[in-house]
Chain A
Amino acid sequence: MRRVVVTGLGTVNALAHDLPGTLAAFRDGRCGIGPLTFREAERLSIRIGAEVRDWRPEERFPAKDLPLLDRVTQYALVAGAEAVAMAGLPAAIGPRGGAILGTAAGGIGTWEDSYRAVYAEGRNRVSPLVVPRLMHNAPAAHLSMRHGLGGPVLAVSSACASANHAIGLAFQLIRAGAAEVMLAGGTEAMLCFGGVKAWEGLRVLAPDACRPFSLGRKGLVIGDGAGVLVLEAEDHARARGARILAEVAGFGMTADAADIVAPGGDGAVRAMRAALADAGLAPEEIGYVNAHGTGTLANDRAEAVAIREVFGPAPPPVSSTKAMHGHAIGATGALEAMACIQALTESLLPPTAGVLAADPDCGLDVVVGQARPAQVTAVLSNAFAFGGLNAVLAFRRAD
């Protein structure tokens, strides 16, 4: 079976507008969460988030293109361009290239602006570009146009697991021979008044900080951003002399088939085991788990139980980087893939910021403070979404 490797990475998120800045923040355990600054944030009861700061799209895109680009697409395009440049791919990748991007809310900012215009402001028309701006497949479609990707291009949506599903499906497509190169990851721009207002009602947002696996945690903190990985058939990458960052070794996806929000059942355990089996890895070969680790009471305990069931009483070190980049919902798995690849390439396990004291009920070796030096050859990245949808990726060090 063909092996699939990662040859490029790109990102825009609350920590930085590029990969080097993001990896530096991961090393230091820096937190990108701060006060929300968008319109009418003062009407919210939750006023923190991991916003992309100092974002000036007019410096990134020609004025004629901007009316077509919701922020969710802008982030994806900037992340995609960085990843393609890092991979050293040509300007037009061709018919054997594709893109799969996850997003949970797509162009929610465009929905909000156009509804505000017709309902709140009583206007009678909205921009003719509303539909192509807000559609969930807009970010993937713009990537295809920008990089000449003529093969499989689509969006996937599975809430907080969207990016892991996107990366996993792209991996399977390359392995099956349906493409040679895939841009895969996720993008999200849910930090707008309506987006946070909707989350507030679920009573799961933290008012102060994101503290995964910590005593005193009060919930999740939403983030914005995008992450794009260049996945490539190993033979294709080697033939063109590309630098191989890591191997996508395995993918497992399951559904709890139980509850629309609460984690439960054996879905998470089955997804981790499926990823290990797909990769041909034994649990003891895994040196680090990037947890879903949202910082909610329910997730962190259920995930800890699942990790101990898969790995036994002494599981590998675990961290949740969401305390730094926020829970970027449909993009979060792509940001966390970068943390996993950092663990493999720099021998540094990215930390969990914000931990006050480890929750003894979780019973995990949580990496806190700064990145922890460790030689690891394989890692897992968990994503367990609302809807009970689970997607776990296994990455292996390049040889």
Chain B
Amino acid sequence: MRAEIEAAVIEILARQLLLPAAEIAPDARIEDLGLDSLGKAEAIFALEERFDISVPFNANEPDQPNFDFSTVGSIVRGVEALIAAKAG
């Protein structure tokens, strides 16, 4: 499951960044990838649609207490937790 989520996260980020998926490392920092605020909003929307989840993300909270969007890995773990919460 984690591999599937990771692949989906990378694919969604790659589409926003106009990069080949192979160029996005699983430990890449989102800031270093150069994703702007609208790209972030669109990526979150894509994740919600792909996994039928609601991501608690507010662009006005720099530390994002409810969803860590800082690295590919943290997004994958966040999505995993939301899917688990939905199933539970």
Q: Could you list which residues of chain A lie within 8 angstroms of chain B, going by C-beta atoms? A: 45, 201-207, 217-219, 259-262, 295-298
Report chain A residues within 8 Å CB of B60: 204, 206, 217-219, 295-298
Residues on the A chain within 8 Å of B58, using CB: 203-207, 218-219
Closest Cβ neighbor of A262 among chain B residues: B37
Within 8 Å CB of B36, what residues of A? 259, 262
A219 touches which of B41, B44, B59 (Cβ 8 Å) = B59
A203 and B62 in contact, given A45-B54, A262-B36 (Cβ under 8 angstroms): no
Contacts of A296 in B (CB 8 A): 59-60
Q: A219-B60, A297-B59 are in contact. Are A261 and B37 (CB under 8 A)?
A: yes
| Nearest CB in chain B to that of A299: its residue | B60
Number of chain B residues close to chain A: CB under 8 A: 14
Taken together as a complex, chains A and B put the C-alpha atoms of A298 and B37 apart, in Å, by 10
| B24-53 at interface with A (beta carbon < 8 Å) | 36-38, 40-41, 44-45
Give Cα A34 to B45, complex, Å.
27
Tally of contacts, chain A with chain B, CB under 8 A: 41
- Complex interface: chain B residues within 8 A of A261 (CB): 37-38
Residues in A with CB closer than 8 Å to B41 are 201-203
> How many Å lie between the Cα of A262 and that of B41 in the bound state?
13
Asked if B61 CB lies within 8 Å of chain A CBs, one says yes
Q: Which residues of B contact A295 (CB under 8 A)?
A: 60
Among B40, B45, B60, max chain A CB count under 10 A is at: B60
- Tell me which residues across on chain B come within 8 A of A205, comparing CB atoms: 58
Question: Chain B: which residue is nearest A203 at the CB level?
Answer: B59
Question: Could you list 10 further interchain pairs (A-B, Cβ under 8 angstroms) beyond the known A203-B40, A298-B37?
Answer: A45-B54, A201-B45, A218-B58, A219-B59, A259-B36, A260-B38, A296-B59, A296-B60, A297-B62, A298-B60
- Given the complex of chains A and B, what is the CA–CA distance between A261 and B37 in angstroms? 9
Bound complex: CA of A138 vs CA of B62, how far in Å? Answer: 41
Across the A-B interface, the 7 shortest Cβ-Cβ residue pairs: A219-B60, A297-B60, A203-B59, A218-B60, A296-B60, A203-B41, A204-B59
Distance of A204 Cα from B44 Cα, bound (Å)? 13
Q: Chain A: which residue is nearest B57 at the CB level?
A: A203
Interface string of B58-71 (1 = CB under 8 A from A): 11111000000000
Chain A hits for B57, CB < 8 A: 203
Docked CA distance A260–B44 (Å): 19
Least CB distance, A314 to chain B, in whole angstroms: 27
A204 to B38, CA, bound (A): 11
Report which residue of B38, B45, B62 has the largest number of chain A beta carbons within 10 angstroms of its beta carbon.
B38
| Closest CB in chain B relative to A379 CB, distance in Å | 27
Q: Which residue of B lies closest to A295 (CB)?
A: B60
B contact residues around A259 at 8 Å (CB):
36
Closest to A217 in B: B60
- In Å, the complex CA distance between A207 and B62 comes to 16
Name the residue of chain A whose CB is nearest to the CB of B45: A201
For A297, the chain B residues whose CB sits under 8 A away are 59-62
Instruction: Tell me the complex Cα distance, A207–B54, Å.
Output: 15
Which chain B residue has the least Cβ–Cβ distance from A260?
A: B38
14 residue pairs bridging A and B, Cβ less than 8 Å apart:
A201-B45, A203-B58, A204-B59, A204-B60, A205-B58, A206-B58, A206-B60, A218-B58, A218-B61, A261-B37, A261-B38, A262-B36, A296-B60, A298-B59
A217 to B45, CA, bound (A): 23
Report chain A residues within 8 Å CB of B54. Answer: 45
